[in-house]
Amino acid sequence: MLSNVVNFFTEAFANLQTLLFENVVLPIAFNGGAGNLLDVAFEGTGWLLVGLIQIAIMVCLIAPLERWRPIEQQPDAAAVRVDVIYTLVQRLGLFKLFMFFTFENAIETGFGLLRVEGFPTLNIDAIWPGVTDQAAVSFVLYLIVFDLVHYLIHRGQHQFNRWWALHSLHHSQRHMTLWTDNRNHLLDDVITAMLLSIVAKLIGVGPGQFVALVAVSQLWENLEHANFKCSFGWLGDRLLISPRFHRLHHSIGIGHESAGRKTLGGHNFGVLFPWWDMLFKTADFSDRYDPTGVRDQVEEGRDYGRGYWAQQKLGLVRLFERRQNA
């Protein structure tokens, strides 16, 4: 039954992708003299379609939840507009297009050379033959693996001063909304995207499955960041990450500081499942909705920037400082 549902949506998405590509993207590509890039254009069409679907779900389903049970009544409208820009850059394919022609091409070339030299990849099906034959089963397995990788990446973003210098931009939003998820430094996004692409190739994730894995994770992250007062109860919060659980990750003095003021670490790093936080003892299930932000921003008035490019510039300034503070 589940496999039939997965196959239905996969086929429907493929048909929509082909329709959008043939009627919109293909004419633009030929008129722009990019007929030699049709493979990239077709894959980019898939990411564009995913982004359009995501934004539609965000606006039609998650935004009403924010209006129904908001945590904060009057978010900073100007700051939220900047987060919308981050979301559009990410979800409508601009960032992905940049990655296609730079780092992802280098990764693909690197793996091709390794295969020529006889180096095997760590394909899950090689370890457990036949387990990926069913689309629904393989998707769930890959989703769990990707969530663990996301957790480890997120731990790194908070554990290393240089990486935190970039990632702290994400935490500088004082008024979280459904648009906050993509508020990241571009270099931070490049590092994360490269690591996820490498893992996907190592374990044998197909291109279509990779798009679906990223899309599901991103949509859930939109819900987690929403200005929506919600938990799933004692049991539910231990099965799936709720907006309350993730807001604690953004709370001043909790989400980033695990051993007192201005220390590296923190709590609640998971993306979809709280299992890794529970396993590695970084979970905090406190029933509270705290103010969000970074301590040096709140207590010392550090400027993280108001506009998109100002935030990107200040992120590089923090990165190359002689000493980074938590």
Provide the pLDDT confidence category of residue 101 given band limits of 50, 70 and 90.
Answer: confident
pLDDT at 165 over 50: yes
Give the C-alpha separation, 133 to 148, whole Å: 22
Alpha-carbon torsion (65, 236, 172, 48), positive or negative: negative
Query: Is the separation of the CB atoms in 94 and 308 below 8 Å?
Result: no
For tokens 């980033």, the residue is: 256
Of the pLDDT bands very low, low, confident and very high (cuts 50, 70, 90), residue 6 is low
**173 pLDDT more than 60:** yes
Q: In the prediction, which pLDDT does 35 show?
A: 63
What confidence tens digit (pLDDT) does each residue in 271-325 have?
Answer: 999 999 999 999 999 999 999 999 999 999 999 999 999 999 999 999 998 655 4
| Predicted confidence (pLDDT) at residue 36 exceeds the cutoff of 80 | no
Per-residue model confidence (pLDDT) at position 204: 79
Q: What is the pTM of this model?
A: 0.90
Q: Name the average pLDDT for the chain.
A: 87
pLDDT in tens, 13-24: 888 888 888 888
Element (H, E) at 154: helix 135-159
Average pLDDT over residues 236-253: 95
Q: Does position 92 have pLDDT exceeding 70, yes or no? A: yes
pLDDT at 326: 46
Instruction: For the chain, give the number of residues.
Output: 326
Other residues' Cβ atoms within 10 Å of the Cβ of residue 323: 5
Give residue-wise pLDDT tens across range 306-317: 999 999 999 999
- What average pLDDT does range 210-235 have in this prediction? 95
Dist. CA 10–CA 189, nearest whole Å: 27
Res 71 pLDDT > 90 = yes
The pLDDT of residue 135: 72
For the segment 208-218, the average pLDDT, to the nearest whole number, is 90
Q: Taking residues 7-12, report their average pLDDT.
A: 76
CB 293 within 8 A of CB 172: yes
- Written as six digits, the tokens of 144 are 């769990």
Please tell me which residue, 56 or 98, carries the higher pLDDT value. Answer: 56
pLDDT at position 34, please?
A: 66
